[in-house]
Amino acid sequence: MAARSKRTSPASEVGTTVRAHRLACGYTLKELAARTGFSPSFLSQLERGRCSVSITSLHRIAQELGVGAAVFFPQVRANSAVTRASQRPLMAVEGSRLSYERLSGEFPRRTADLFLVTMQPGEIQDGPYRHQGEEFGMILEGTMHFHLGEDEFDLGPGDTIHFHSTTAHLWCNQTETTVRALWMTTQRLS
């Protein structure tokens, strides 16, 4: 993760966490790749902190490793309803122009996670994805290009999208300006 502020961890922390849990499960990169659908090359780059990764990808990896994806957000305090602006966990993998600030509180039986997503010009989310749950997004700034099943949309400030996550989806920023969006998923991180 890029060193933008005190709340940002180095990219190597995510990779180190993935690697530690992979080894604890006794998986080789090739075995984890087969279980997640990602390539061994992608997983190797992720473990070395050298590639972009989405929350959905981390969730899929964590699920196969038998942990909650919240392990990638160690700054999140348990049983906390309030997330202070100055203490929001930020995930931004070094070399990526995509970052997530976790806005959700942390408490038992929580059913959703909320993020402030920032996508720099030319960034493409890895995917497309299909997973359980629902997603909701509201564009705050810029224009996000969104693929949902067979459909494509350009979403601008104030536009929203809400869909079942079992529909293949992918988003990108094809413009010269930064996109910021409020994003909610019911695919729990923990």
Task: Please give the model's pTM, rounded to 2 decimal places.
Answer: 0.65
CA distance 49 to 162: 31
Question: What is the Cα Rg of the chain in Å?
Answer: 16
Q: Would you call 91 exposed, middle or buried from its count of C-beta atoms within 10 A (0-12, 13-18, 19+)?
A: buried
3-state secondary structure 94-126: CCCCEEEEECCCECCCCCCEEEEEEECCCCECC
Domains and their CATH numbers in the chain: 11-72 (1.10.260.40), 85-185 (2.60.120.10)
d(CA 32, CA 40): 8
CA distance 20 to 55: 19
What mean pLDDT is predicted for residues 148-162?
Answer: 96
Amino acid at site 17 = T
Dump pLDDT digits (tens) for 60-96. 788 788 776 667 765 555 557 777 777 777 776 555 6
What was the pLDDT predicted at 64?
84
Task: Tell whether the model's pLDDT for residue 2 goes beyond 80.
Answer: no
